[in-house]
Structure 1
Amino acid sequence: MSNHDSITDPLGFARRMWGNMGLSLPGMVTPTFNVEEIEQKIKDLKAVENWLKMNLSMLQMTIQGLEMQCVTLNAVRAMGKMASSYGAGVGAGGASGNEVVPAANSGNDALKQAALWPLTMLQQMQEQMQQVANAAAEAKKAGEATKTDDPSKPAAKS
């Protein structure tokens, strides 16, 4: 009868081998047919998954907070440099070369301009995006023109 059991139980050899060593067969090797045990494993693994997701989101929020802190400190540092350069009466040499430098005795104007740095940066980004959009449109027109000029391809019907 024991020979018949080893034929119908494909993991019988592994169980006997592990059992002879005094160790039980690991749970991942021996599949279980107990539905409650499987459901419990699923619940446990989902709990671990949710815990890991929570830790990941907390880590991402911490990273974003530190990035915002870094950006804010850099902006304050830049505003301080601009204010000190205007206050010291630095001439047309300016920080970036394309800024409008007010007179040396107009410290209030310098602070007003420094406070408008987000607007200036936004305007510069919009200008760059418009330039990229214009270049893409021109490239598309040039591509369409070369397709219609190609004699090997039939002309597009209008």
Structure 2
Amino acid sequence: MSADFNPNDPFALLRQFWQSTTPQQAQAFLPPLSEEEIDRKLAELRVVEGWLTMSLGLLSMQIKTLEMQRAAMTAMKPKPDNG
């Protein structure tokens, strides 16, 4: 770690990265400039969004299924006799 590392500054690493980056390297992090590039990137991101939405739906369904199984197991447990 750097001698001037400060855990209270969450942007220190990012700031150090940008200060050591040349203009040619920084170009890779800039947004696309042509309309075709923007359309292509939007299409890619929509595919990723669809995949993530589907994954979130599957995850939610699995959570609900496990909650129902737990509730069923709790309901089927024998109740202790208090008499």
TM-score range, shorter chain: 0.5 to 0.7
Q: Which has the higher contact order (CA 8 A, sep 6+)?
A: 1
| Structure 1 Cα separation of the partners of residues 50 and 63 of structure 2 | 20
Who wins on radius of gyration, i.e. which is larger? 1
How does the TM-score come out when normalised to structure 2?
Answer: 0.63
After superposition, the CA RMSD in angstroms is 2.0
Within 5 Å, which residues of 2 pair with 1:38-57?
A: 38-57=38-57
Q: Matched residue pairs, number?
A: 62
| 1:81 to 2:79 alignment | yes
| 1:60 to 2:60 alignment | yes
| Structure 2 Cα separation of the partners of residues 70 and 30 of structure 1 | 48
| Structure 2 Cα separation of the partners of residues 42 and 36 of structure 1 | 10
The residue type equivalent to 2:30 in the other structure is: V
Match of 2:27 in 1: 25
| Structure 2 Cα separation of the partners of residues 31 and 41 of structure 1 | 8
> CA shift at 1:18, angstroms?
1.6
Unaligned runs of 5+ in 1: 1-16, 92-158
| Structure 2 Cα separation of the partners of residues 47 and 81 of structure 1 | 51
> CA shift at 1:29, angstroms?
2.3
The residue type equivalent to 1:48 in the other structure is: V
Q: 1:67/1:30 Cα in 2 relative to 1: closer, same or farther (>3 Å)?
A: closer
- 1:5-28, Cα deviation, whole Å (9 max, x unpaired): xxxxxxxxxxxx523xxx3612x5
> CA shift at 1:81, angstroms?
1.9
Name the SS of the counterpart of 1:29 in structure 2.
coil
Moved over 6 A (4+): none
Q: 1:45/1:81 Cα in 2 relative to 1: closer, same or farther (>3 Å)?
A: same
